[in-house]
């Protein structure tokens, strides 16, 4: 069967990661979490004392960290300079700084190159999730999905994931999420946006299973039409 490239974009908490992993696993495709790559480079900047609010300082060193992404949807993995980074990239500190780092054009150029190389190497095809996959990274993707959901639904999903010290109340989770979406949507370099030819799926009142079925159906429809 010919390889297929699926781009899944949308704001935080719309279900991109869960949907992408499940669709890739079901269809035997590779999987790439591009948000994890931006989180990894942000984590490296913070660990190395770089002032992440200074775009010049970020641009000057953004070629240094070696970022490697696993592409098995059943075992998502990310490492920085050979060290497992899956845990540290999910802290609230990284989450609060990732929009500033990912707005730096030099960072985007570098990470976009990595993403295209990974997609090109995926023999059976790949599901790539992020913010600008359908518009910029892989504009020729076979299937493009743009997931949305109400801020209330997204905040409820996100705060359900946070535990212990990191747990925040619903209102502050909602505020942080809205702030990050606004930053990601308004930056100059490749902002969060729906591609003109993407299918928009509002997941507010859908179960995860329904979203997965919807995306699998769109991919199978595309394959059948070839």
Ligand X SMILES: Nc1ncnc2c1ncn2[C@@H]1O[C@H](COP(=O)(O)OP(=O)(O)O)[C@@H](O)[C@H]1O
Ligand Y SMILES: Nc1ccn([C@H]2C[C@H](O)[C@@H](COP(=O)(O)OP(=O)(O)O)O2)c(=O)n1
| Positions in 21-40 near ligand X (CB under 6 A) | none
| Angle (nearest 5°) at CA 214 between 208 and 218 | 145
CB of 129 to ligand X, least distance (A): 6
86 belongs to the binding site for ligand X (CB under 6 A)? no
35 belongs to the binding site for ligand Y (CB under 6 A)? yes
Which of 6, 29, 28, 19 lies closest to 122 in space, CA to CA? 29
Selection from ligand Y, ligand X, none that 39 binds (CB < 5 to 8 A by kind) is ligand Y
User: Of the ranges 36-44, 54-62, 63-71, 73-81, which one interacts with ligand Y (CB under 6 A)?
Assistant: 36-44
Residue written as token pair 């600008």:
132
Nearer to ligand X, 62 or 132 (CB): 132
176 belongs to the binding site for ligand X (CB under 6 A)? no
Task: Tell me: is residue 69 an annotated ligand-binding position.
Answer: no
Whether residue 165 contacts residue 111, with contact meaning beta carbons closer than 8 Å, is answered with: no
Task: Tell me: is residue 76 an annotated ligand-binding position.
Answer: no
Task: Tell me: is residue 188 an annotated ligand-binding position.
Answer: no
Of 17, 91, 96, 148, the one binding ligand X by CB under 6 A:
17
Selection from ligand Y, ligand X, none that 174 binds (CB < 5 to 8 A by kind) is none
Query: What is the binding site for ligand Y (CB under 6 A)?
Result: 12, 17, 34-36, 38-39, 98-99, 102, 130-133, 180, 184
For the annotated binding site for ATP, the residues are 10-18
Query: What is the binding site for ligand X (CB under 6 A)?
Result: 10, 12-18, 157, 160-161, 203, 206-208, 211
């Amino acid at each position: 069967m010919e390889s297929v490239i699926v781009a899944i974009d949308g704001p935080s908490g719309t279900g991109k990661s869960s949907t992408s992993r499940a669709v890739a696993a079901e269809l035997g495709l590779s999987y790439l979490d591009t948000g994890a790559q931006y989180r990894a480079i942000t984590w490296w900047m913070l660990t190395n004392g770089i002032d992440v609010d200074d775009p010049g300082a970020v641009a000057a060193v953004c070629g240094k960290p070696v970022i490697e992404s696993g592409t098995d949807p059943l075992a998502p993995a990310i490492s920085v300079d050979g060290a497992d980074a899956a845990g540290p990239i999910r802290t609230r500190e990284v989450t609060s700084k990732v929009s500033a780092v990912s707005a730096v054009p030099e960072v985007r150029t570098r990470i976009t190159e990595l993403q295209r190389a990974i997609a090109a190497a995926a023999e059976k095809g790949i599901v790539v999730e992020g913010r600008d996959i359908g518009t910029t990274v892989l504009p020729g993707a076979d299937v493009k999905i743009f997931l949305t959901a109400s801020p209330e639904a997204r905040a409820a999903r996100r705060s359900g994931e946070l535990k212990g010290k990191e747990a925040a109340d619903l209102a502050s989770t909602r505020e942080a999420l809205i702030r990050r979406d606004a930053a990601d949507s308004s930056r100059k370099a490749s902002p969060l946006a729906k591609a003109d030819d993407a299918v928009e799926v509002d997941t507010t009142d859908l179960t995860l299973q329904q979203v997965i079925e919807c995306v699998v159906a769109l991919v199978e429809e595309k394959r059948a039409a070839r």
